[in-house]
């Protein structure tokens, strides 16, 4: 059974048709939209500030979402894919963005709509990743623009796939 814990007067709010894996942890001032999946070992810790997650978002295995006390929050749009072992710390992630496995997104960064952050990239504080671009490296830098329709299709397909996968786990209960 997942750990879903109230803290400091805040109780996590989870939308309809969400899959929350048994080893996921969701604490405090967290709101999760509809049709989301929170996978094994993921931690969404809204203990020091708010975390808002849109619809059809997948937070994959061992990802960590956290903020900075009285300074940063997390705002995540719809159809976002947060890859395995990703850290999002006090950042804004727009609709249809893809955060590649092992990437780190630091405070006050903004990931634009349909943007792709490559696996293991480090997005430094206050970085603005433009919509429809790919950023990679340590620190993450602009690599190239991507076709907006292609990016949207790929990122939405991944989000839909994770919603589909989560159905397998719901059937097993």
| φ and ψ of 52, to 5 deg | -120, 125
pLDDT, position 75:
98
The ranges assigned to domains in the chain are 3-171
User: Per-residue pLDDT for 172 more than 70?
Assistant: no
* Range with the poorest average pLDDT among 26-40, 95-109, 120-134, 138-152: 138-152
The percentage of residues in the chain with a pLDDT greater than 90, rounded to a whole number, is 87
- Give CA–CA dist 25/98, Å, rounded: 22
Helix (H/G/I), strand (E/B), else coil: 53: strand
The whole-number pLDDT of residue 121 equals: 98
- Residue 85 confidence (pLDDT): 98
Cα separations in angstroms, 56 against 20, 95, 125: 13, 10, 26
Interatomic CA distance for residues 53 and 36, integer angstroms: 9
pLDDT in tens, 5-41: 999 999 999 999 999 999 999 999 999 999 999 999 9
CATH class of 3-171: mainly beta
Q: What share of the chain has pLDDT > 70, as a percent?
A: 98
Per-residue model confidence as pLDDT tens digits over 84-116? 999 999 999 999 999 999 999 999 999 999 999
């Amino acid at each position: 059974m997942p750990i879903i814990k109230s803290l400091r007067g805040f109780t996590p709010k989870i939308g309809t048709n969400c899959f929350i894996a048994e080893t996921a942890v969701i604490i405090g001032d967290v709101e999760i939209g509809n049709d989301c999946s929170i996978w094994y070992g993921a931690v969404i810790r809204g203990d020091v500030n708010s975390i808002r997650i849109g619809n059809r978002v997948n937070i994959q295995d061992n990802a960590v979402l956290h903020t900075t006390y009285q300074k940063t929050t997390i705002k995540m749009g719809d159809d976002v894919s947060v890859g395995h072992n990703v850290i999002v710390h006090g950042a804004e992630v727009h609709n249809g963005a893809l955060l590649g496995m092992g990437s780190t997104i630091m405070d006050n960064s903004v990931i634009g709509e349909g943007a792709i952050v490559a696996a293991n990239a480090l997005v430094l504080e206050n970085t603005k990743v433009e919509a429809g671009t790919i950023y990679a490296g340590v620190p993450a830098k602009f690599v190239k623009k991507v076709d907006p329709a292609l990016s949207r299709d790929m990122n939405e397909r991944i989000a839909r796939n994770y919603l589909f996968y989560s159905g397998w786990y719901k059937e097993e209960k």
